[in-house]
A and B are shown apart, each in its own frame.
Chain A
Amino acid sequence: MNPLMTQNIRSLPYFIPEAILLGTLLLVLVCDLLQVKGKKTLATLPVTVTGLVACFAVSLNFGMNGDTASGLFHGMITLDPFALFFKYVFLGSTLFVVLMSRMGSDIDRKAHAEYHTILIAITLGLMLMAASTNLLMVYLSLEFVSILSYVAAGMQPRERRSREAALKYVLYGGAASAFMLYGMSLIYGMTGTTDIYLIRDTFIANSSYNFTLLFSVALILAGFGYKIAAAPFHMWAPDVYEGSPTAVTAFFSVAPKAAGFAVLIRVFGTWFSGVGDMGGFGESFTHLVGVMAIATMVVGNFGAMLQSNIKRFLAYSSIAHAGYLLMGIAMLPNFAEPGFRAILLYVIFYVFMNFGAFFVGALVMESTDSEDISAFRGLGKRNLMAAIVMAIFMFSLAGLPPLAGFIGKFYLFAAVIQQLTFFTLLMITVAIITSVVAAFYYFRIVRAMFLDPSTDTEPQPTSRLAQVMLTILVIPTVVFGVYWTPVIKVVDKGLVTHAPHVYETQTANTDTDQKESPVADLKTP
């Protein structure tokens, strides 16, 4: 058989999680077709949930067995613990959002099949994003996610804000990814390859300061920064978050953001950590990303102070969190590992607390039919459980001590403080000042719930499913704040990336005998 084919076929077993998602996606579409004809409806929700759970189980199985491989499909993607870690995050997020949108009414019940299809496809794209090891794959998966996100943002066809959100998303997104592509083309011109590990080798071989490289990195940073909503590429975020259906907004604020950081760590971590200073390039990189981090923290936190719409408020809050995480990326040239560990840790905590905040926010918006922060008034009287849980999420997002958010911030700040220069001190100072500002605006919600007078004291109980989901979200937020050793273990496992080792044998993909080693490197003979 053609050796190229052989390698692709040998890569397939490591592609099972994605294949399951692909199958689920088609199945959901078919289920929708059957619904139209028959009178008895075939629900798409069970199919979606089963598919996601099956995919999660298979990924978990790969992770438990340590069954990993690199250089899949000619070095396009890899299946390493790092990619698996993010697969868990994405699948968990999607599962949560699917259940959450079941409770809300902003997405038309008839459109649920299409909505599920789009969500599953976005998840597929996110999984490929975290796994890609080639600039081509990075670009394709990022665009895959973006294009579907534009559609998801416009999933509320009767709401005019939803259309406006989609338009703003598509314009900013298209421009950002075009800049990124131009940067990638320059990188290709400098190195002659699109494989990120080969690019690293070229950087090591001619390690000198290079302005073109800085320019292309800045352009690529525009594309990635847009995905994580970092200033100055954050302008789309408040409008898109406000206009999109609430469950979709919750999804946008967690999953693509995590994927953006996965790509940042994979690409820039491979290129610039542990390759030396490259004639001062490392410092320039720190300054470039650091300035972005500072701008993001300032814009996010001060922006959140001024908001009166719940979704806009949470949008700015998520921008602010991206700013804190970017500090970990900025430390990458010299102190990569503590920064990466802190980011992965923060991602886990952020998933729970941010989904929690969105979930209670959605419940409040649904019951009061208002998106204004004043809708929280008197929640302590109307629904004590939801109010207490929301207060926990707010304190955790603000980074107060006995909760998970504090531990995340602590690790992040500790990673930055390892290198004492004027610039890191500046970053830390801004981070601490903005954290204080953050505490102020998160308290505003808590005050509205418990202290502000309200006329409406009629009890509004939450449904059983909502209670279960809130419990699932709040327990980790509290428990990880005092006992986070297991999370650190998971994170340390997830930090491992596998690079395909041998490149001289690029044409030696001809070997056909199966390797039984735990890390099968399909590129090595």
Chain B
Amino acid sequence: MFEIGLTHFLVLTSILFCLGFLTVVTRKNAIGILLGVELILNAATINFIAFSHYVDSPTAEGFIGGHIFAIFVITMAAAEAAVSLAIVMGVYNYYKTIEVDKVAVMRD
């Protein structure tokens, strides 16, 4: 029988993290980079949930800690998305593009 264990979750989140990292590093589109950030956040959230299920905690609060952390991360990601999209809109109004290498008035 095929049993789902912690390892499967960890493999999944590692893949998600790597994909997110690659997206952040390679994308030129601001929205694309934000999507990559979101992938990494989701990897971390799944980690928290998986660990709170499989890992023994030294405290009673530790077990629920992962769940609470996950909920806060989701909330924070929403808030960050709202602000960052507003900023991207503001940039688009001036520059008529959201390609990050074209939004570059300031240089060394």
Asked whether A164 lies within 8 Å of B105 as measured between CB atoms, the reply is yes
Which of the residues A147, A165, A192 comes within 8 Å of B57, measured between beta carbons?
Answer: A192
Of the listed stretches A181-189, A272-280, A487-495, name the one at the interface; the rest are far from the partner chain: A181-189
> What is the CA–CA distance of A238 and B107 in the complex, to the nearest angstrom?
9
Of listed A140, A186, A189, A303, residue having the most chain B CB within 10 A: A189
Asked whether B80 lies within 8 Å of A143 as measured between CB atoms, the reply is yes
> What is the CA–CA distance of A507 and B80 in the complex, to the nearest angstrom?
35
Asked whether A198 lies within 8 Å of B105 as measured between CB atoms, the reply is no
Which of the residues B40, B59, B68, B87 comes within 8 Å of A170, measured between beta carbons?
Answer: B87
How does the 8 Å CB contact mask read for A293-335 relative to B, with 1 for contact and 0 for none? 0000000000100110000100000000000000000000000
Q: Within 8 Å CB of B106, what residues of A? A: 161, 164-165, 238-239, 242-243, 312
Interface size class of B (residues with CB under 8 A): 35 or more
How does the 8 Å CB contact mask read for B44-76 relative to A, with 1 for contact and 0 for none? 110110111001111111100110110011001
The secondary-structure label for the interface of chain B is helix
Nearest B residue to A241 via CB reads B106
Given A167-B103, A181-B73, A306-B108, decide whether A193 and B62 contact each other with a Cβ distance below 8 A: yes
Which of the residues A160, A170, A171, A506 comes within 8 Å of B95, measured between beta carbons?
Answer: A160
How does the 8 Å CB contact mask read for A186-227 relative to B, with 1 for contact and 0 for none? 101101111100100110000000000000000000000000
Asked whether B103 lies within 8 Å of A164 as measured between CB atoms, the reply is yes
How does the 8 Å CB contact mask read for B1-39 relative to A, with 1 for contact and 0 for none? 000000000000100010010001000001001101100
> What is the CA–CA distance of A201 and B17 in the complex, to the nearest angstrom?
28
Which of the residues B41, B90, B103, B108 comes within 8 Å of A238, measured between beta carbons?
Answer: B108
Q: Which residues of B does A touch, CB under 8 Å?
A: 13, 17, 20, 24, 30, 33-34, 36-37, 40-41, 43-45, 47-48, 50-52, 55-62, 65-66, 68-69, 72-73, 76, 79-80, 83-84, 87-88, 90-91, 94-95, 100, 103-106, 108
Asked whether A202 lies within 8 Å of B58 as measured between CB atoms, the reply is yes
Q: Within 8 Å CB of A154, what residues of B? A: 87, 90
Which of the residues B17, B48, B65, B84 comes within 8 Å of A150, measured between beta carbons?
Answer: B84
> What is the CA–CA distance of A123 and B88 in the complex, to the nearest angstrom?
25
Asked whether A174 lies within 8 Å of B69 as measured between CB atoms, the reply is no
Nearest B residue to A240 via CB reads B106
> What is the CA–CA distance of A506 and B56 in the complex, to the nearest angstrom?
16
Q: A147-B80, A163-B90, A198-B62 are in contact. List 5 more A-B contacts (CB 8 A).
A: A139-B69, A167-B100, A178-B37, A238-B108, A312-B108
Q: Within 8 Å CB of A503, what residues of B? A: 58-59
Distance in angstroms from B67 CB to nearest chain A CB is 11
> What is the CA–CA distance of A185 and B84 in the complex, to the nearest angstrom?
24
Q: Within 8 Å CB of A135, what residues of B? A: 69
Q: Does A179 contact B (CB under 8 A)?
A: yes
Q: Does A175 contact B (CB under 8 A)?
A: yes
Q: Does A347 contact B (CB under 8 A)?
A: no
> What is the CA–CA distance of A201 and B80 in the complex, to the nearest angstrom?
33
Q: Within 8 Å CB of B68, what residues of A? A: 136
Q: Which residues of A does B touch, CB under 8 Å?
A: 74, 135-136, 139-140, 143, 147, 150-151, 154, 157, 160-161, 163-168, 170-171, 174-175, 178-179, 181-182, 184-186, 188-189, 191-195, 198, 201-202, 238-239, 242-243, 303, 306-307, 312, 503, 506-507
Asked whether A506 lies within 8 Å of B72 as measured between CB atoms, the reply is no
Asked whether B59 lies within 8 Å of A193 as measured between CB atoms, the reply is yes
Q: Within 8 Å CB of B48, what residues of A? A: 185, 188
Asked whether B44 lies within 8 Å of A184 as measured between CB atoms, the reply is yes
Q: Within 8 Å CB of A151, what residues of B? A: 83
Distance in angstroms from A145 CB to nearest chain B CB is 12
Asked whether A193 lies within 8 Å of B83 as measured between CB atoms, the reply is no
Asked whether B87 lies within 8 Å of A166 as measured between CB atoms, the reply is yes
Which of the residues A175, A192, A242 comes within 8 Å of B24, measured between beta carbons?
Answer: A175
Asked whether B47 lies within 8 Å of A170 as measured between CB atoms, the reply is no
Nearest A residue to B23 via CB reads A175
Given A167-B30, A188-B48, decide whether A140 and B60 contact each other with a Cβ distance below 8 A: no
Asked whether B87 lies within 8 Å of A150 as measured between CB atoms, the reply is yes
25 A-B residue pairs with Cβ-Cβ distance under 8 Å, sorted by A, are: A135-B69, A140-B76, A143-B76, A147-B80, A150-B87, A161-B105, A163-B87, A166-B90, A171-B34, A174-B37, A175-B33, A175-B36, A175-B37, A175-B40, A178-B44, A179-B40, A181-B40, A182-B47, A188-B47, A188-B65, A189-B47, A191-B58, A194-B62, A194-B65, A503-B58
Given A170-B83, A188-B65, A192-B58, decide whether A140 and B72 contact each other with a Cβ distance below 8 A: yes
Nearest B residue to A166 via CB reads B87
Q: Within 8 Å CB of A171, what residues of B? A: 30, 33-34, 84, 100
Asked whether B36 lies within 8 Å of A170 as measured between CB atoms, the reply is no
> What is the CA–CA distance of A242 and B80 in the complex, to the nearest angstrom?
23
Q: Within 8 Å CB of B34, what residues of A? A: 171, 174
> What is the CA–CA distance of A179 and B21 in the complex, to the nearest angstrom?
9
Which of the residues A160, A170, A186, A312 comes within 8 Å of B105, measured between beta carbons?
Answer: A160
Asked whether B88 lies within 8 Å of A506 as measured between CB atoms, the reply is no
Distance in angstroms from A285 CB to nearest chain B CB is 22
> What is the CA–CA distance of A150 and B87 in the complex, to the nearest angstrom?
8
Q: Within 8 Å CB of A167, what residues of B? A: 30, 87-88, 91, 100, 103
> What is the CA–CA distance of A195 and B64 in the complex, to the nearest angstrom?
13
> What is the CA–CA distance of A239 and B104 in the complex, to the nearest angstrom?
9
Asked whether A192 lies within 8 Å of B91 as measured between CB atoms, the reply is no
Of listed B40, B52, B57, residue having the most chain A CB within 10 A: B40
